[in-house]
Amino acid sequence: MAQLKRKAEDKVGVAIAPMIDVVFLLLIYFMVASTMEQQEADLSFQLPGSVEQDEPLDLPDEQIIEIREDGQVVVNDFPYDAPEAPRYEELAAMLTRFREASAANKVEAIVTISPAESVSHAQIVKVMDACSLAGIEAVNFALGDDS
């Protein structure tokens, strides 16, 4: 019997050199395309707190609380709480901050309540309760403005 000669088989392999070239090109591309951002640094500063005055100011500190006809409470054109709220908690919190700032300036915190003529007494009492919760004792009344 005759033996068949086997032909030498070519080894199948993966060419690594072109792949390494592609990897280096991708690495260079991403290095150039990326941006270097500096990390935020800590500035190490503190915000000022409440500082007391050395001498009392001559001017009293006063806030005017307007109660509109619909029962809305407004201070400096900013509405506080809803008219149907059982207590004016937002107003009381603002008045507490107002009283603390006035105490730091060594002036008396004065509140003037200016209700519209058609406002119910219950709304006025709720504003007075908020003043009481805030610890403000100097409460005045002004004639409501129906413009």
Residue pLDDT, tens place only, 14-48: 788 888 999 999 999 988 888 777 777 777 777 76
| Residue 67 CB neighbours (<10 A) | 21
34: in domain: no
pLDDT for the residue 23: 93
Q: What is the pLDDT of residues 86-135, one digit of tens each?
A: 888 888 898 998 888 888 777 888 899 888 888 888 888 889 899 888 89
120: in domain: yes
Total domains in the fold of the chain: 1
| Residues 62, 112 contacting (CB under 8 angstroms) | yes
pLDDT for the residue 143: 72
30: in domain: no
- Burial label, 128 (beta-carbon count in 10 A; 0-12, 13-18, 19+): middle
Backbone angles phi, psi at 33, to 5 degrees: -75, -25
What is the rounded distance in angstroms from the CA atom of residue 140 to the CA atom of residue 131?
11
| Domain span holding position 71 | 61-141
pLDDT for the residue 53: 62
117: in domain: yes
Q: How confident is the model at residue 147 (pLDDT cuts 50, 70, 90)?
A: very low
The H or E element containing residue 66 is strand 61-67
Q: What is the pLDDT of residues 57-96, one digit of tens each?
A: 565 678 888 988 888 898 888 888 888 888 888 888 989 9
pLDDT for the residue 50: 64
CATH of the domain at 94: 3.30.420.270
What pTM, to 2 d.p., does this model score? 0.57
114: in domain: yes
12: in domain: no
125: in domain: yes
Of 37, 121, 32, 126, the C-alpha closest to 73 is 126
43: in domain: no
pLDDT for the residue 26: 94
What is the rounded distance in angstroms from the CA atom of residue 41 to the CA atom of residue 48?
21
